[in-house]
Chains A and B, each alone.
Chain A
Amino acid sequence: MSQVIVQFKDVVKSFGEQTILDKVNLTINSGKTTVIAGPSGQGKSVTMKLILGLLRPDSGQILVGGQDITKMRLKALNEVRTKFGVLFQGSALLDSLTVFANVALPLEERTRLGSEEIRERVLAILAQLGLTGHEEKYPAQLSGGMRKRVGLARALMLQPEIMLFDEPTTGLDPENSLEIYKLFLETQKKFGYTSIIVSHDIPKIFNLADQVILVNKGKLTTFASPEDIQQSEIPEIQAFVQYTMGNIYLSREME
């Protein structure tokens, strides 16, 4: 039985008068893949930022590895953050640094490794992700798919326990999207990380999911499989399923 690695307990988050998350609970188990989906502007990115401690909830607890991060001081929070790797929607590469410097950054800043060892590790992961020969390029000189791969390489440098993917295939063509999914499966197999994917790419993304969390009107609903979502009796979820999957999507075997 896998351990609970991230847990929300009665979390409330508002911006001004708008309540984004209203007393929500969620549980994410280690080694599993959780997909967070739902209509735009309903709180998917807020959920992700809360997990990372980039936002603090108005009330409730957020446990990461059993520790409540909501009341932590920055130093302790930074320790918890070392468990995470994040692939941002726009890759969030530092655009004044080369590909090599971007990927080397976590090692330079967070470890005491020598420059030779950092170089070896960076070149190894770049080779693994098919980026050999692009080390001296700047992010602006890369395609969207390559930027995602560099972002993934950087996120994996410190061998995170939990990987968060924010819309990993948004803005990519089908070929590059497939490439990212392949890389996801390969790297998850190799590094064994727990993954949390915020995505719009429905129903394709459900093929990767062990559980699906739908965000809707301030509530999170957890489903064990895509089939469970289709059978949901909540009208908003039925409407979402109809809109995103149509009637034809029945099971992952069909894909």
Chain B
Amino acid sequence: MIRYLEKIGKNTIWVLEDLGRMGAFLVFGLGGVFKRPFRFSAMIRQVRLIGANSFWVIFFIAGFTGMVLGLQGYYTLRKFGSEGALGSAVSLSLIRELGPVLTALMVTGRAGSAMCAEIGIMRNSEQLDALECMAIDPFRYLITPKFLATIISVPILTLFFNVVGIFGGYLAGCGLLGVNPGAYWAGMEQSVVNQDINMGIIKSFVFALVIVWVCTGRGYFVHVIRGAGFGAEGVSKVTTQAVVLSSIAILICDYLLTAILL
């Protein structure tokens, strides 16, 4: 019994320590914005890596998501004789939910894992220690540009996802299934209000912060994460952990934000 309680106590302390570390990491990561000199060119490079290089992935996923929504929506709405509401159904689903969530999950898988592995390898090969020894703040030099680039890229990618998805729905609904194009666009125009767009944008900002925080943070602390192991195996385990944790966190935040913002 005592051993069992001891184990619970140890685990609780470890979780609290980890939360504290990650909390401090978030503060330092964001605080790097105020440290000079600001590394603008590094941030732009990261925007290219995280944002611009995700263009085609987002394009195809958004296109086919929109087309599937068009198909599913058409057959469901036809039962009620309201095919004309397809534009409204597709656009609201994308703008409020699927756009921000699927974009965030894609960025987590594509860029989040890469960021985690990069920082983890830098930690293991003492590159982060070397920066500190040269009195170069690793947050200002390395982490903050990634924070800002993700926060800039994810909302733009989300908006792009929404636009491509809505055209995908149009292609499936109007191009293949014969829904009236005028009704599709009119339905969208009438049902989508500013609040929906704001909700999507707020979600994408929060998701961006979650992705970059969890993924860079796990990489940064690869040497102290319990059970991660060492070397290449440690980095691979922590990268998997970062992707899983940030995906779960995105879905939890999605629910909470929807509940608050609706």
Q: Contact residues of A with B, CB < 8 Å?
A: 49, 52, 54, 74, 78-79, 81-82, 84, 86, 88-90, 92-95, 105-106, 109-110, 154, 158
Contacts and interface: CB of A to CB of B under 8 A. Distances in A.
B132 interface: yes
A125 to B, nearest CB: 15
Interface stretch (B77-85, B133-141, B233-241): B133-141
A90 B122 CA distance: 12
Interface in B89-137: 121-122, 125-127, 129-137
Contacts of B125: 90, 92, 95
Cβ-closest 6 pairs across A and B: A92-B130, A92-B126, A78-B135, A81-B135, A86-B133, A109-B136
B interface majority secondary structure: helix
A54 B135 contact: no
A111 to B, nearest CB: 11
15 contacts: A78-B135, A78-B137, A79-B135, A81-B134, A84-B133, A86-B130, A88-B126, A88-B130, A92-B127, A93-B127, A94-B127, A94-B131, A105-B134, A106-B134, A110-B134
Contacts of A82: 135
Interface of B: 121-122, 125-127, 129-137, 141
B134 A88 contact: no
Contact of B141 (A86, A109, A154): A109
A105 B126 contact: no
B134 A92 contact: no
Contact of A105 (B122, B129, B136): B136
Given A92-B129, A94-B122, A95-B125, 11 more contacts: A54-B129, A74-B137, A81-B134, A86-B130, A88-B129, A89-B126, A95-B121, A95-B127, A105-B134, A105-B136, A106-B134
A81 B134 CA distance: 7
Contacts of A88: 126, 129-130
A54 B127 contact: no
A105 B135 CA distance: 11
Contacts of B127: 92-95
B96 to A, nearest CB: 39
B30 to A, nearest CB: 16
Nearest to A112: B37
A106 B134 CA distance: 6
Contacts of B129: 49, 54, 88, 92
A54 B132 contact: yes
B133 A52 contact: yes
A63 B1 CA distance: 47
B20 to A, nearest CB: 16
A54 B134 CA distance: 12
Contacts of A54: 129, 132-133
B232 to A, nearest CB: 14
A68 B126 CA distance: 25
B208 to A, nearest CB: 23
Contacts of A95: 121, 125, 127
A23 to B, nearest CB: 25
Most A Cβ at <10 Å: residue of B121, B125, B126, B134: B134
Contacts of B141: 109
A110 B141 CA distance: 12
A94 B118 CA distance: 11
Nearest to A89: B126
Contacts of B130: 86, 88, 92-94
A110 B126 contact: no
A115 to B, nearest CB: 13
Contacts of B135: 78-79, 81-82, 110
Contacts of B131: 94
Nearest to B140: A109
A109 B126 contact: no
Contacts of A109: 134, 136, 141
A154 to B, nearest CB: 8
